[in-house]
Amino acid sequence: MSDSIRIGFVGAGRNTQARHIPGLQKIAEVELYGVCNQHEESTKKIASEFGIAETYSHWKDLIADDRIDAVVIGTWPNLHCEVTVAALEAGKHVLCEARMSRNLAEGKQMLECSQRHSELTAMVVPSPFGLVYGDYLKSILEHGFIGELRELVVLGADDAFWDFSQYLHPRQQQELSGQNILTMGILHETASRWIPETEQVFAQSQIFEPERPVDSQPDMAKVTIPDSLQVLTKLAGGGRGIYHISGISLFGPGQQIHLYGSEGTIKIHFDPKWEQGEQVLTGRIGDTALKILEIPEKEKGCWRVEESFVAAIRGEEPVTLNNFETALKYVQFSEAVHLSNQEQKPVSLPVA
């Protein structure tokens, strides 16, 4: 393959249109070559809007096109495994939208296939949370800023699904979204960049409104993903964690991660309305109150997923956020929470 890279898109939804397509368009010698969306009308619309040359009636036709070098998978998780495996077997690099897969079995299949084709780049889109301050926080944590981590608090509670008259959303359907629950996966992934390994989980959940209307259908459909979840965790080294995940919390706290240590505290708040999308508060022994963390612009990170994907294909840098090995750890967590919730008992990680 030459330096020129031709990209095909299987599923070009909101995130692909907002992030991946514009990000790839900025990179030299990258061509947005083909697209296949769920419906023919939307496929043609995306191709026309973004100047994509080829359209396909089925994603398998796109995978089979030898002119395409790499595939961006922007579908819901129900297709991630099948499309990823097919693309890798066809000799194409893969950037797969998060979550990696619906369950652990599919995630393992994806990882095993990527290992058989180690000459290809296989990458999962990382959580966008924590990218601005993430590396800086990791550095100060490693240098003992909060001392020994004692407690982790993960909050992902808002009113996104409070209105029970709204149509059933894919995030409420296990067949499409898998075992991840609402924002649990994206927040756990973010927290995992700064904390020791999770060794055990104990979960409970509730579906408060078991049915929702469906667009253009007379019958109600069942909700199969909880809209309220609580998880207790045990971390390597003895720390403990609490997760509150909810889509029905009126005036809830939104998305936050708190790290409480023997010598200090770090609180990270995430809100897309803010210019940088996140704010960090810190405090140590002797301080009278938490204060906003300010760091030089040169030390701040940013979203560079598409740039990283292309650089990995060209052999210029390794995949860090996220290779398939790392992404599978987050699927392991979701699987453990799912099993604990079903069996109402603690579950140890990794899950066999």
pLDDT in tens, 265-317: 999 999 988 888 999 999 999 999 999 999 999 999 999 999 999 999 999 99
Instruction: Please answer whether residues 9 and 63 qualify as being in contact, where contact means their C-beta atoms are separated by less than 8 angstroms.
Output: no
Across residues 52-71, what is the average pLDDT? 98
Sign of the C-alpha dihedral computed for residues 214, 216, 220 and 221 taken in this order: negative
Across residues 9-20, what is the average pLDDT? 96
Beta pairing, strands 278-284 & 291-292: antiparallel
**In this predicted model, what pLDDT tens digit does every residue of 253-264 receive, in sequence order?**
999 999 999 999
CATH architecture of 5-127+304-323: 3-Layer(aba) Sandwich (3.40)
Instruction: Please answer whether residues 198 and 192 qualify as being in contact, where contact means their C-beta atoms are separated by less than 8 angstroms.
Output: yes
Question: What is the average pLDDT value for the chain, to the nearest integer?
Answer: 97
**In this predicted model, what pLDDT tens digit does every residue of 201-211 receive, in sequence order?**
999 999 999 99
The pLDDT value given to residue 1? 46
Across residues 132-138, what is the average pLDDT? 97
Q: What is the largest CA-CA distance in the chain?
A: 64
CATH of domain 134-302: 3.30.360.10
Nearest to 59 by CA among 25, 88, 34: 34
**In this predicted model, what pLDDT tens digit does every residue of 15-43 receive, in sequence order?**
999 999 999 999 999 999 999 999 999 99
Residue found under tokens 């964690």: 241
Across residues 202-230, what is the average pLDDT? 96
Look at residue 189 and tell me whether its pLDDT is greater than 80: yes
What percent of the chain stands above pLDDT 70? 99
Nearest to 161 by CA among 151, 149, 170, 153: 170
In the chain, where are the structural domains located? 5-127+304-323, 134-302
Look at residue 3 and tell me whether its pLDDT is greater than 90: no
Class of residue 315 by CB neighbours under 10 A (exposed 0-12, middle 13-18, buried 19+): exposed
The pLDDT value given to residue 2? 55
Q: What is the pTM of this model?
A: 0.96
Confidence of residue 79 (pLDDT cuts 50, 70, 90): very high
